[in-house]
Structure 1
């Protein structure tokens, strides 16, 4: 089924999945490359990659993850666990008439890509991770780990756990909140040394209180912000936030994969200024064990979290080079 597009780029379709439907945008022909976004984004975060991958001879497909955009938004919080998202990834590949694909993910999409490659290596024969490194399942329950971070302050992942709490902060002014959140984690607009960390809240406070204000990141135009804000103003934030609310369920569901490596040919690209790459430096150092198929790992100087939008040319060059070197 075709849909009217919010941009002139690519073909918009709905395909069936365990979620109900997944909305996707595809461009090009050739081997399938599945692009999976993170929080709080949509298929649109891959707008710079779709035409480049298509021109390089690939069938590039960017999805709206369940809970986002025009994809289905199941009601139950537990409908957003990792194994459900893996099933969605597999369903998209098969709905497109393919048997296998390379999967590329950013932020939560990086973890969805890793989970998909780990659980369904028969479907996903290559994996590229942007911004969030791969770390195998293991250790204490995630909620216990995050609750100990920040001392008297509350880490944003813990802040997101209670249904309705973050929604009450975000939904009265989605556009304003998104602009601040994007700026807080962008290389050119993130708070400088000594400023309060926007990943934490003070007791009784909100995340937004610590966001920078006054200008958008260089990568984000007013029109781009309109696209993102328009989607979340229509859908609300609960579907997106429910991904965070399933980390303990994922920890239980994936017990059989404790410590398991992802063995397919892989790629990692992170921003040197991104908190994710700094917090998880040990995970990057462990790649010889956890990602034995790693082809290359890159940290882009001066780059923040929104890597494929902040540095599209560099990411496209790295990604297309890696894809070209994959076994046929």
Structure 2
């Protein structure tokens, strides 16, 4: 009980602290130029041409678990299925380089998860609980008519994928996580490592209503320019416009942030060892500003069949920043396990 109360108090103190910092930043931004609205929306009616480029595949819709999802399909549907789950704050486009790389050997399906991109946005935090997100994936695979598939995931997609792997291991031929971890590993690390708590500051902030959306949308979603564009890396301003196109839309920010509101708590999940023979690779970025390498130690206790890697000179959005490195990493894993 004492440990629970300590986590409860710490969680709320950090939430209040980061909320105060966010509001102070918003106030300073406004006061610098009070005659200009930093939250002015620059909506564009036509999507950037990259989002409709046929080289990435065909855009389709499917109703799974009572929610309509949008996805991009590429490759021969008679070949092994490879499903991609994006992270926050992204959508299918984050997998553009992997689609181009693997479409010749796999039936590639890159999903907009519920609340993202052109998928349905259910109202209410309760619609983004982990068990629903897992069942979205399970129903998707059923409706695609496959018994087994390869799953590649990033960030939030990885959290969902671990829960999916724990519940439905028999349906997976393999699992690759990029810049992600299991919920158990993340919770244990955030409560035992001050470094991980600092890296996860935004998770505490996102518990609050409205303030996260206010901070995120400031100055035409400048956060994308700050966290995704680096000198010498593949992501460019045209790519950023693809993200801003979707996230500028009314109410587009709240559903993704609801993933945090629905699933962040003060619990302490015990480590349960999963011994099923599901080949699994976890690749963390060397320069990740949100995840610490200590997460891998817990994951090695959770999963008997696991390989880990640190991708050098990359940051959190590594599959977009350094697609060649990431594609080679995935290729080697697939080849090693004959997937």
TM-score, normalised on structure 1? 0.77
CA distance in 2, matches of 1:155, 1:16: 35
What is the CA-CA distance between 1:218 and the residue it aligns to?
Answer: 3.0
Query: Quick check: which has more Rg, 1 or 2?
Result: 2
What is the CA-CA distance between 1:142 and the residue it aligns to?
Answer: 7.4
2:286 corresponds, among 272, 282, 285, to 272
Stretches of 4+ aligned residues off by more than 4 angstroms = 137-146, 249-252
Please give the residue correspondences for 1:1-328 in structure 2 after superposition, counting only pairs within 5 Å: 6-8=52-54, 9-29=56-76, 30-55=79-104, 57-134=105-182, 136=184, 149-150=197-198, 155-183=201-229, 188=230, 218-234=233-249, 235-248=251-264, 259-261=272-274, 263=276, 264-277=278-291, 279=292, 281-294=293-306, 296-326=307-337
- Mark the CA change 1:262 to 1:35 in structure 2 (over 3 Å): closer, same or farther: farther
What is the CA-CA distance between 1:138 and the residue it aligns to?
Answer: 9.1
- Mark the CA change 1:238 to 1:299 in structure 2 (over 3 Å): closer, same or farther: same
Q: What count of residue pairs does the alignment treat as equivalent?
A: 284
CA distance in 2, matches of 1:127, 1:24: 19
What is the CA-CA distance between 1:27 and the residue it aligns to?
Answer: 1.0
- Mark the CA change 1:262 to 1:164 in structure 2 (over 3 Å): closer, same or farther: farther
- Mark the CA change 1:317 to 1:245 in structure 2 (over 3 Å): closer, same or farther: same
CA distance in 2, matches of 1:76, 1:282: 34
CA distance in 1, matches of 2:141, 2:266: 22
CA distance in 1, matches of 2:75, 2:266: 34
How large is the RMSD of aligned CA atoms in angstroms?
A: 3.0
Report which of the two has the higher share of helix.
Answer: 2
Q: Secondary structure in 2 aligned to 1:78?
A: helix
Q: Secondary structure in 1 aligned to 2:319?
A: helix
What is the CA-CA distance between 1:174 and the residue it aligns to?
Answer: 3.9
Unaligned stretches of 5+ residues in structure 1: 190-216
Unaligned stretches of 5+ residues in structure 2: 1-48
CA distance in 2, matches of 1:303, 1:115: 26
- Mark the CA change 1:289 to 1:229 in structure 2 (over 3 Å): closer, same or farther: same
CA distance in 1, matches of 2:309, 2:192: 31
Contact 1:82 / 1:250 at 8 angstroms: preserved in 2? no
CA distance in 2, matches of 1:67, 1:144: 31
- Mark the CA change 1:25 to 1:78 in structure 2 (over 3 Å): closer, same or farther: same
- Mark the CA change 1:132 to 1:13 in structure 2 (over 3 Å): closer, same or farther: same
TM-score, normalised on structure 2? 0.75
CA distance in 2, matches of 1:46, 1:138: 24
Contact 1:111 / 1:134 at 8 angstroms: preserved in 2? yes
1:130-184, CA deviations, whole angstroms, 9 ceiling, x for partnerless residues? 01233537967979999x945xx9921111111211112223544323222335x
Contact 2:87 / 2:154 at 8 angstroms: preserved in 1? yes
What is the CA-CA distance between 1:272 and the residue it aligns to?
Answer: 0.8
